[in-house]
Amino acid sequence: MKSQGIPIKAVWLQDWVGTYHFPEGVRLLWNWSLNRNHYPKWDEMVDGWEKDGVRPMVYMNPYFANLTGNAQIAENLFKDADSKGFFLKTDTEHDNSTSYLIQSLSIKFAMVDFSNPNAAKWAKDVIKNNMIKTARSVGWMADFAEYTPMDVKYSGFKGSPLTYHNRYPFEWAKANKEAIAEAHKEDEVVYFMRAGSTMSPGQTSLFWMGDQLPTFDRYDGLHSALIGLLNGGMSGFALGHSDIGGYTSLNDTANLMYVRRDEQILIRWMEMSAFSDAIFRTHPSNNPALNA
């Protein structure tokens, strides 16, 4: 792209934390800290990019996996937050002190309890120290936040968990916005989200349309991404974009219609994004080796 004179603002590396091969494809290690085993020359790489005015963008979500024993992990954030009681808790008669663990396919994780001011501060410190300072990131995908269970216990909210479910992505967005402000990077850093509530536009700098299939259809493919952008714009979510080429790719062995991203869908998606999106961003997908 550089040799063709195409302007580049950032290189998005969601695998800055390292990766693991799960049955459903390549997934990230949900420990939001620079993995120097995976990127041993990160600083040298970023130094080179900055000479061309290019910065890294990374990835984070409010979920933390227990990766105790994983040789790639230098800083076990799950263990730190769990020991301090910063995760949402189980809500049972005899045990309301245990972190609530949720399964996302092959990943088991806990969620930050944003109703606890100390937990929110801890999450903001992770953003400021690990993502802005250490990774020198100019932005990130602030993913997820829509998984909040209905039988969970909040430390600082006494109402029904049902009523907090749509508030959770708002609080997750708020934590990102406040962390950037506290780091004095408001004019430099942008984060993008898919989950939200009616009040999210006031806390979120950019949205994206979620994980489409690498197809043309209007149900969950290219067409649906355009519909999402239009509906979002009419609903106050003015700045949005989609994963160029789609995201969710299935192995050939699944024997299903939607399998992989070919060159045609990638090129057509690039054309759509060039004329419809607030940001032009590609995605390696959950199965990078299968896809154009």
Active site residue 125: no
Q: Exposure of 165 by Cβ count < 10 A (0-12 exposed, 13-18 middle, 19+ buried)?
A: middle
Catalytic hit among 143, 171, 243, 277:
143
CA dist., res. 47 & res. 20, Å (int) = 27
Pick left, alpha or beta for residue 236 (phi over 0 → left; psi -120 to 50 → alpha; otherwise beta).
Answer: left
Q: Where are the beta strands (DSSP E) in the chain?
A: 10-12, 19-22, 25-28, 55-60, 63-65, 89-90, 102-104, 107-111, 139-142, 152-153, 190-193, 206-208, 240-241
Catalytic site residue from 43, 75, 91, 146: 146
Q: Which of 75, 182, 211, 220 is catalytic?
A: 211
Q: Hey, is 197 helix, strand or coil? A: coil
Instruction: Give the type of residue at 86.
Output: F
What is the distance between the alpha carbons of residues 243 and 214, in angstroms, rounded to a whole number? 10
Burial of 95 (0-12, 13-18, 19+ CB in 10 A): exposed
Count Cβ atoms below 10 Å from residue 233 Cβ, excluding itself.
14
Is 15 an active-site residue? Answer: no
Q: Which residues are catalytic?
A: 143, 146, 211
